[in-house]
Structures are given as C-alpha cells and as structure tokens.
Structure 1
Amino acid sequence: MQKKPLFATFAAVLCLGIGSAHAGAIDALKKFNADTDGISGSFTQTVKSKKKTQTTNGTFQILRPGLFKWQYTSPYKQTIVGDGKTIWLYDVDLAQVTKSPQDQTIGDSPAAILSNKSALESSYSLKEDGTAGGIDYVRALPKKNNAGYQYIRIGFQGDALAAMQLKDSFGNETTIRFNNVDMKPNLVRSAFSFTPPKGVDVLSN
C-alpha cells in the first residue's frame, strides 16, 4: 500500500496573500491567517492518481509558527510531527521512523503554509476561485516553476477552514476535507516533541 505523507503530497492552507479581489475567500484567508495561532481537528484525505484512488482519515494539530502533528488513523497508522527543527515520520506497520531537517524537507510545500504565516505570501499568488458545495475557494499558484505543485486551493465556509485541494507536478490530485475544526485549541509546544518508540528502526534523510 502506497502511503503519502503530509509534507510530500498533502494539501495547503494559511497565510496572507495580497491581491485585488472582491470580498470572499481571500478575505476569509486573511482573517484566518491573522487570527489563528493554533488549529486542530479531523480530516478525510483523498488522493487520485492515474492508476488508483486512495482515501485516508486522521487528526491534525498545528501550533504556529513551525509546529504540526498529522496522524493517519485508517486504513493505516502513520504519524508525522514537525517540531520546528526536524520532521519525524513514524510508520507503525513498518516499525520505522524517518527523520529529516524541517526547513529543507517542507520548503514551499503546503506543510510550510500550514505552519508559518509568511509562507503563502512569499511563495504563491492568490486569486478568488469560485464556490462549490457551499465552500468559497482561493487558488494559490506557485511563483517558482520547481515548487512541485501546479496549484493549491484553500476553501472556507464563512470564516471556517473547510477544505484544501492540490494538484502536484505529476498530475496527482489531493483533496482534504476538514471536520470538527477548533480554531482556538489549548495546544502547548511540548505536545509536538517526538521520541522514537523503543525497538523501531530510525533512518535519516
């Protein structure tokens, strides 16, 4: 079973993008970025490639700047933690942990946009992108040709984060729907520390 970690394939959200547009999703994005220091909830993620479609479920926590925890709970168990310096990827089935430098690993990816307020404005151009299913979307287009993403869409219902969509450079499409979102969770930095469990293999990238 192919597994797709958050920082590699997932989707994006947050940060200020400046552009001339009518009131709508960009205003919601600006407010979200300005007001949000932490966020938590659950998610359903669907990845469509040319050969198959895979759906996963889990929970997430973000404390800005720079901290996030993304836990897949079904159909497999996998935990991704960004502690500000290192990204830890723990695959329960493989009993394996992979660690990578956070700044080098996430770059301009959606994970950077999720956890840092300045990432979107510096790396993407924004425009309003219509409404579907009651969700207003912002389309974020990367300023660099080597960003790895063709676009990222960020969706809001009112001021609430509702969905994210992205298409990567290989044509794979990822959609994330957020549920039970808490915009003011009681999160502490110590919750984003990670110690590899005893007996697992630890690899470095």
Structure 2
Amino acid sequence: MKTWKTILAAGMMSVLAATANAGGIDALRQFNNDADGISGTFTQTVQSRKKTQTSSGSFQILRPGLFKWEYSKPYQQKIIGDGKHIWLYDVDLKQITQSNQDQTIGDSPAAILSNKTALDASYSLKEDGKKDGVDYVLASPKKANAGYQFIRIGFKGNTLAAMELKDSFGNQTTIRFNGVNTKPNLSRSAFTFTPPKGVDILKN
C-alpha cells in the first residue's frame, strides 16, 4: 500500500516533469497574456546575401498598439507607433517617414509584441528546439503574403530572450533582448511624437 508520502512524492515529480517539458510555447503564451508593458535593450543583426549589419538600442511597448524602438548605434533612428501612425525618424538624415500603423505593421513581429491578439490570429505555433538555454517557438504566418517566411521566438525560462525572422527576400534578422521588464511604468503620453522643426516629413 502506498503511503501519503509516496503519493505526494509521485505527484511532485509529475509537476516537475510537466514544468521541465513545458517548453517555449507555454512561456510565450504566459508572456503574451501577462505582459501589458515591455521595456529593455536589444542587439539586432541583419544578414543579407551581400552584408551583415549590427545595431543596438532600447525599446518600450505599451499594449495594445503603442511602441518605441530607438536605435543608438551605429546610427540614431527612432520608430514610434502612437496607435494611428508609425513615425520613422532618421536623426542623421533629418528625415521623418509617416505611415498608417495598421497597414504598416500587418502580421510583422511588431504586431506580436505590441498586440496580444496577433499571436493566435496570425500565426501557427510549434516547439522549435533549445539552444544555449533558450527554448524556441516557430511562428509560421497563416497568410501566404505575410512578408515573412518564419519567426522564431526564444525564451530563457519565462523571459523573452530572442527573436529570429526570415523575410520573403531571404534576409535574416536576429534580435537579442536584455534587461526585459514586463512591468515598466509607462504612460500613453510617452508614445506621442512631435516632429522637430525643420525636418522633412514624407507620408506613405
């Protein structure tokens, strides 16, 4: 006859085994459901057939629909989504491009990070292995014309660690996240963009 200690031990082992095998999808879904705001820093590498370019900066996201992506190296550039428009401000060129946010984001990775409903609405998910302690999820777009062949989202435990994506032209982008905070103190006013005087504005 099994004692209550044996039963309890068996139960605990089952829980631990389930946790160990949870993988990236569970971490991604928990992150997607729980995070109303996100902030941190990033390093981004874009690899094309001809060259590889690395940049870095910081980001802030207030869900749904508000985000600020700021590149500091090797050039200064700001991408701000205020809920209606996306403003791309190239500081060095003193040029701003304004576009409609819904049309521009579409099913891109920005939609996954800035809108909780985009994940299940636009992507099919499956576990995609583990590397360097990071569990990856393969997010395949449900639409054939999404512009991306695939997106891989990586979690270290329950912390967002990486995104990898390959676009329809074969360019591959890898983003490594650091210092991710899912409870930042953000206000909607932080995502309001006022174009500086004397800067050209192009509208798409």
Query: Under a length normalisation based on structure 1, what TM-score does the superposition of the two structures give?
Result: 0.89
Structure 1 runs (4+) deviating above 2 angstroms are none
Residue 182 of structure 1 deviates from its aligned partner by 1.1
Q: Which residue of 1 aligns with 2:17?
A: none
Paired residues for 1:39-118 under 5 Å = 39-118=38-117
SS of the residue corresponding to residue 179 of structure 2 reads strand
SS of corresponding position for 1:171: coil
- CA drift of 1:141 comes to 0.5
Alignment of 1:170-185 (within 5 A): 170-185=169-184
1:90-169 paired onto structure 2 within 5 Å: 90-169=89-168
Structure with greater contact order relative to length (CA < 8 Å, sep ≥ 6): 1
Once the 2 structures are TM-superposed, how far is the Cα of residue 181 of structure 1 from its aligned partner? Answer: 1.1
The residue that corresponds to 1:186 in the other structure is 185
Counterpart code for 2:180: V
The one-letter amino acid of 2:94's match is A
Match of 2:30 in 1: 31
Q: Secondary structure at the match of 1:146?
A: coil
Unmatched 5+ stretches in structure 2: 1-20
For residue 70 of structure 1, what is the amino acid of its counterpart? W
Structure 1 distance, partners of 2:180, 2:145, is 32
Per the alignment, residue 7 of structure 1 pairs with: none
- Letter of the 1:153 counterpart: R
- 1:188 Cα shift? 0.4
Instruction: Give the share of equivalent positions with the same residue, in percent.
Output: 75
Alpha-carbon RMSD across the aligned residues, in angstroms, is: 0.7
Q: Which runs of 5+ in 1 are unaligned?
A: 1-21
The count of residues paired between Structure 1 and Structure 2 equals 184
Q: What CA deviation, in whole Å up to 9, does each residue of 1:19-72 have, x standing for no partner?
A: xxx621000011101110001000000000000000000000000000000000
Which one has a larger percent helix, Structure 1 or Structure 2?
A: 2
Query: Which structure has the larger Rg over C-alpha atoms?
Result: 2
